[in-house]
């Protein structure tokens, strides 16, 4: 597993809303549900990817969308940034960029664990996704 893949490990989740409503007419609204520091991900978690914007075609299925996202995660495009700070750091100082991403991931892991530790198991409410939503753990992007 490459360093980049480790940096974008299973904490990263995708969420696609309105997949059923107008899926063929317009691309699904796909976004990461956790904080990301990545050249092609906006602050709200939405992804800067041509097939989810101007190059959308009804022929794209969920598999092709996920393959495109996986490709973007493995090979970011800093020349078309959604996050200019991440793109600049990625281009100018990859080591510092990777350090920043690792720290963010560690912070998220600690926050997730704290939330679990603070709640009684009986009180933990499991959220069920709506029928028109898909949540995908990023570990599946690297298969």
Which sequence positions are flagged as catalytic? 48
Task: Please tell me what DSSP assigns to residue 74.
Answer: H
Q: What are the residues facing 15 on neighbouring strands?
A: 31, 135
SS3 28: coil
Task: Please tell me what DSSP assigns to residue 48.
Answer: -
Instruction: Please check whether residue 17 is in contact with residue 29, taking contact to mean a CB–CB distance below 8 angstroms.
Output: yes
């Amino acid at each position: 597993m490459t360093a980049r893949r480790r940096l974008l490990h299973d904490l990263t989740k995708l969420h696609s809303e309105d997949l059923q409503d107008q899926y063929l007419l317009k691309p699904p609204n796909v976004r990461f549900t956790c904080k990301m520091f990545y050249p092609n991900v906006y602050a709200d978690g939405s992804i800067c990817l041509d097939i989810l914007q101007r190059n959308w075609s009804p022929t794209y299925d969920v598999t092709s969308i996920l393959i495109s996202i996986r490709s973007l995660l493995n090979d970011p495009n800093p020349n078309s940034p959604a996050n200019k700070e991440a793109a600049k750091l990625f281009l100018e100082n990859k080591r510092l960029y990777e350090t920043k991403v690792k720290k963010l991931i560690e912070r998220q892991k600690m926050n997730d664990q704290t939330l679990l530790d603070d709640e009684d198991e009986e009180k933990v409410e499991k959220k069920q996704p709506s029928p028109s939503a898909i949540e995908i753990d990023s570990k599946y992007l690297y298969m």
